[in-house]
């Protein structure tokens, strides 16, 4: 049977939306689909959309996660602690409630082999008996209502069909990641927030000294940078904005904004064309923010939360300086400076890092309407200096909330 896009590539966004007890979640993956080779790997109604849809067309699938991902009680294992044998040294070797670990880290479990990369979650820990429960089901399998959406962006005709990889975009988009940012039921995920060691770094040199010399290094590639700008153009409200832990560039769209920067390097802040004014301060040395109560409509902290050693104190200060209904956004990718990143961050899977930020919000009274957002799969610009290492643009993860009132 012939179909409209048989000899074409389809560019599309594939996403899932769901709610957990703590937040609303949206995870999006960019797809560059060779229709002839890859359309039939998608479930209905998405394979039909890819085969015959035009730009702007959408398809939706609403399902129970338990049914769709075939949640099985048999995939919840009773495990002894001696069976946890990670093949590499973890920064934090402690098994933590609610955390995910690759299934290949566990031994002597039926159906689980060494090297298995898929995530399993610790859902119960008995330290006295040195045993725990491991849930090896899909992370989305615990959610009752999942909404999958595909939107066609562009249809590109091809003159011929060549050999090449066959990519399973459903697997790429949803097999590892989505669902890992949410709590298991209503159980607080143990990220070690009350442990000093979690917020230590390999280089404890004062930040003012470490960042004394300007670097002018972008933290994400230009595609990811533009995606973050586009996100803010849709979601950011208000006029007066604090760019917290700012540098030589802000990721804000053009607009009638009054942007104040707070950062560590004067030369970098002076070079930022978006800033009306800036303040030099090391908030790891002193988390108090030098601003008035209810001064800002929004605060953005881009690509920096992984360096905060007093994140809860900083969040309390952000709550203080925000106007009622003001917004706070934390964005990050999968890149960081190893000497200065907090140790807690290193072992976490990217989506778990969004869960960490959610738990920070949960520690501070006054925030509401919590959300997470991820955007992955875009092609990396060919001129990017790291294009020889990866063809994919840096993934984007955002957690945001509003101040109550």
- Can you list the residues of the chain whose pLDDT is less than 50? none
Ranges of beta strands (E only) in 20-110 are 24-34, 58-63, 76-80, 100-102
CB 334 within 8 A of CB 395: yes
Neighbours of 123 (CB within 10 A): 16
Type and span of the H or E element at 36? helix 35-38
Each domain of the chain, given as residue ranges in start order, spans 8-65+144-157+166-174, 73-137, 196-403
- Say what the pTM is: 0.96
Rounded to whole angstroms, the Cα distance separating 130 from 244 reads 43
Say how far residue 13 (Cα) sits from the centre of its chain.
17
Structure tokens at 286: 């002193």
Inter-helix orientation angle 311-321/350-362, to 10°: 60
What's the alpha-carbon Rg for the chain, to the nearest Å? Answer: 22
The SS3 of residue 315 is helix
| Closest by CA position to 402, among listed 366, 356, 376, 368 | 368
Which residues are paired to 302 by β-bridges? Answer: 331
Q: Hey, do 8-65+144-157+166-174 and 196-403 end up sharing a CATH topology, with the first three levels equal?
A: no
Rounded to whole angstroms, the Cα distance separating 322 from 384 reads 37
β 296-302/240-244 pair status:
parallel
In 169-310, alpha helices (H): 169-174, 207-210, 222-235, 266-270
Our CA dihedral for 229, 230, 236, 237, rounded to 10 degrees, sits at: 110
pLDDT at 162: 66
The SS3 of residue 250 is coil
Q: Which pairs from 86-89 meet CB under 8 Å and 24+ separation?
A: 87/114, 87/115
Structure tokens at 353: 């890092």
pLDDT at 6: 85
In 117-242, alpha helices (H): 169-174, 207-210, 222-235
Q: Which CATH class is domain 196-403?
A: alpha beta
Rounded to whole angstroms, the Cα distance separating 262 from 245 reads 5
Query: Residue with structure tokens 């990017």?
Result: 384
CATH no. for 8-65+144-157+166-174? 3.10.50
With a CB cutoff of 8 Å and minimum separation 6, the contacts of 370 are 22, 23, 24, 358, 361, 399, 400, 401
């Amino acid at each position: 049977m012939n179909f409209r896009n048989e000899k074409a590539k389809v560019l599309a966004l594939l996403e899932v939306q769901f709610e957990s007890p703590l937040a609303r979640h949206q995870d999006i993956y960019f797809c560059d689909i060779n229709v002839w080779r890859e359309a039939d790997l998608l479930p209905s109604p998405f394979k039909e959309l890819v085969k015959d849809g035009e730009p702007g067309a959408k398809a939706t699938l609403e399902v129970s996660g338990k049914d769709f991902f075939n949640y099985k009680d048999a995939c919840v294992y009773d495990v002894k602690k001696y069976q946890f044998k990670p093949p590499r040294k973890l920064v934090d070797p402690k098994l933590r409630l609610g955390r995910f670990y690759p299934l290949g880290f566990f031994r002597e479990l039926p159906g689980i082999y060494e090297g298995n990369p898929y995530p399993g979650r610790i859902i119960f820990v008995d330290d006295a008996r040195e045993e725990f429960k491991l849930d090896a089901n899909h992370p989305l399998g615990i959610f009752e209502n999942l909404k999958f959406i595909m939107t066609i962006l562009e249809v590109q005709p091809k003159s011929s069909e060549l050999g090449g990889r066959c990519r399973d975009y459903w697997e790429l988009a949803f097999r590892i990641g989505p669902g890992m940012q949410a709590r298991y039921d209503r159980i607080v995920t143990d990220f070690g927030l009350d442990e000093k060691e979690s917020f230590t770094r390999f280089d404890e040199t004062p930040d003012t000294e470490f960042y004394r010399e300007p670097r002018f290094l972008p933290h994400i590639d230009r595609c990811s940078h533009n995606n973050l700008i586009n996100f803010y153009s849709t979601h950011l409200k208000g006029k007066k904005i604090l760019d917290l832990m700012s540098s030589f560039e802000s990721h804000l769209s053009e607009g009638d904004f009054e942007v104040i920067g707070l950062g560590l390097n004067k030369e970098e802040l002076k070079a930022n064309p978006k800033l009306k004014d800036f303040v030099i301060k090391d908030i790891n040395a002193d988390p108090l923010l030098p601003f008035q109560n209810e001064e800002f409509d929004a605060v953005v902290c881009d690509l920096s939360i992984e360096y905060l050693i007093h994140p809860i104190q900083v969040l309390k200060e952000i709550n203080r300086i925000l106007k009622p209904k003001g917004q706070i956004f934390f964005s990050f990718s999968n890149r960081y400076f190893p000497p200065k990143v907090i140790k807690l961050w290193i072992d976490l899977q990217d989506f778990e890092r969004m869960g960490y930020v959610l738990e920070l919000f949960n520690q501070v009274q006054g925030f509401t309407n919590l959300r997470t957002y991820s955007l992955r799969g875009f092609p990396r610009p060919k001129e990017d200096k790291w294009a020889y290492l990866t063809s994919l643009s840096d993934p984007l993860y955002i957690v945001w909330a509003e101040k109550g009132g």
